[in-house]
Structure 1
């Protein structure tokens, strides 16, 4: 009896805030979505714990690495081992499906609206969930792209090379790009010829001034700017999902400023950890603290 009561209270609390979100979406003429890492975390794409142990158990045992993020900064003994780590990292965070359907739930909520997405995530999960790619702007890069170490103009699709590196370690790839393996068959390095080829590249991620903003990036930026300009003249919902304070100048601060400048605008932030917005827009803001996946589920 007490368990049922707890479940009912849990469900009702999510229904209440989810209904508030759904109402804001329905009432808006335009929706500008800004997403950070919290959205992918809600989709089950955590970089540690069980997910790390499942795919990087050997790196943990041999090098003491505890998560995918810190593993990216480790100094590996050779390129073959380094690219074994990075190819797994890229594959499971870019080409494998997310463990939860969080992004698809979001699409179902906004697919019939005039929306646009700006994201600091580099895992390409919006496009994997079939969002319109012309309504997406990945500001910080894409795990699915390489750039040459000494080339400041172009990016290169890395699917075939990363797949070859994955298979070189002993993994098999299933129909949905999932990894099929027996731990005893996996080696912690890739073929030296693949490593030599991979050493010509780095990931297309904004980590320094050498980040390549290619033609596709600039087209997406232009479409985003056009949408943002129109949004300032309309009844717009600025919807922030899982955005922290790592790079607030990209999403958080502009969303606050645009809401302040446009009396028709409203701001909604959804996050599992911290909810914040300035007092100046308090009367047109909604903060929802909780599991983003569950909130999107009940907002359907």
Structure 2
């Protein structure tokens, strides 16, 4: 159970923020029931062909697999897009996240390729998919990432020396792609505040930003609800 004081402090930080930066990785997908690193029943059912014929054990392995033909690679991506995008219709996790943000300006930095932010009606011009998305992978087209990166830089420039609150959703403690540079960013901006949501074993905050940070342990879908009480 989270310390009530941490929840109340997080609420206050969000309420008084000039803007919100959402950072997200695989833990957010897991909170919705999608686990791209798992060889679970979902994977064995949806990706049976690739599991049985090629020995692929999870979605991440499938993304980087050296397929025997281009047609087989395309079929994998088509299967993945159907599973995680076409057949997906939104979730309460994103609904609650939107309620928490309210009318504040925001930006999203994510390594998730499932486009769930877009599907849940977050502004596509406020999203930087740092590794692209599954459509990019299907068509081998990553040009849009450069434009997203530019928008992200503009957002940070707008809120330099202002009250920016980072909501970190499900990013592992050893992550160097998003977590480490964002913590460095917080260290260099005295008015920035950092709230990390994750399972207890994945919680990590650099000591040099402890006074600017809050850790909220537990399942993301449950802790977001706590913030709305």
TM-score by length of 2: 0.84
User: Does the Cα contact within 8 Å between 2:173 and 2:202 map onto a contact in 1?
Assistant: no
Deviates most, 83-92 or 111-120: 83-92
Deviation, 1:109, is 1.1
Cα pair distance change 1:263/1:75, threshold 3 Å: closer
Q: How does 1:1-300 map to 2 (within 5 A)?
A: 13=1, 16=4, 18-47=7-36, 48=38, 49-97=40-88, 100-145=91-136, 201-202=139-140, 204=141, 212=142, 214=143, 216-244=144-172, 247-248=175-176, 250-272=177-199, 273-300=201-228
Quick one: distance in 1 between partners of 2:2 and 2:32? 17
Task: Quote the offset at 1:299 in angstroms.
Answer: 1.8
Unaligned runs of 5+ in 1: 1-12, 147-157, 159-200, 205-211
* Structure 2 Cα separation of the partners of residues 82 and 136 of structure 1: 27
Cα distance per residue 1:43-63 (max 9 Å; x no partner): 211133122123123433444
Q: Could you tell me whether the CA contact under 8 Å between 1:45 and 1:99 is conserved in 2?
A: no
Provide Cα deviations, 1:149-196, integer angstroms capped at 9, x if missing partner: xxxxxxxxx6xxxxxxxxxxxxxxxxxxxxxxxxxxxxxxxxxxxxxx
Q: Is the 8 A contact 2:172 2:203 kept in 1?
A: no
Q: CA deviation at 1:84?
A: 2.8
Instruction: Calculate the aligned-residue CA RMSD, in Å.
Output: 2.6
In structure 2, C-alpha distance between the alignment counterparts of 1:217 and 1:42, rounded to whole Å: 25
For the Cα contact (< 8 Å) 1:43–1:98, is it kept in 2? Answer: no
Task: State the match for 1:174 in structure 2.
Answer: none
Indicate the SS of the match to 1:130: coil
**TM, length-normalised to structure 1:** 0.66
Change in 2 beyond 3 A, CA 1:57/1:118: same
Whether the 8 Å contact between 1:44 and 1:100 is mirrored in structure 2 is no
Q: Is contact 1:18–1:296 with CA below 8 Å preserved after alignment?
A: no
Question: Structure 1 residues 227-236 or 99-108, which shifts more?
Answer: 99-108
Cα displacement (A) at 1:75: 4.8
**Structure 1 residues 53, 23: closer, same or farther in 2, change over 3 A?**
farther
Inter-partner Cα distance in structure 1 for 2:181 and 2:70: 41
For the 8 Å contact 1:28–1:236, the answer to whether it is kept is: yes
User: Aligned in 2, Cα 1:274/1:62: closer, same or farther, shift over 3 Å?
Assistant: same
Unaligned runs of 5+ in 2: none
- 1:287 and 1:142, CA in 2 relative to 1: closer, same or farther beyond 3 A? same
When the two structures are aligned, how many residues end up with a matched partner?
224
Secondary structure of the residue aligned to 2:216 is strand
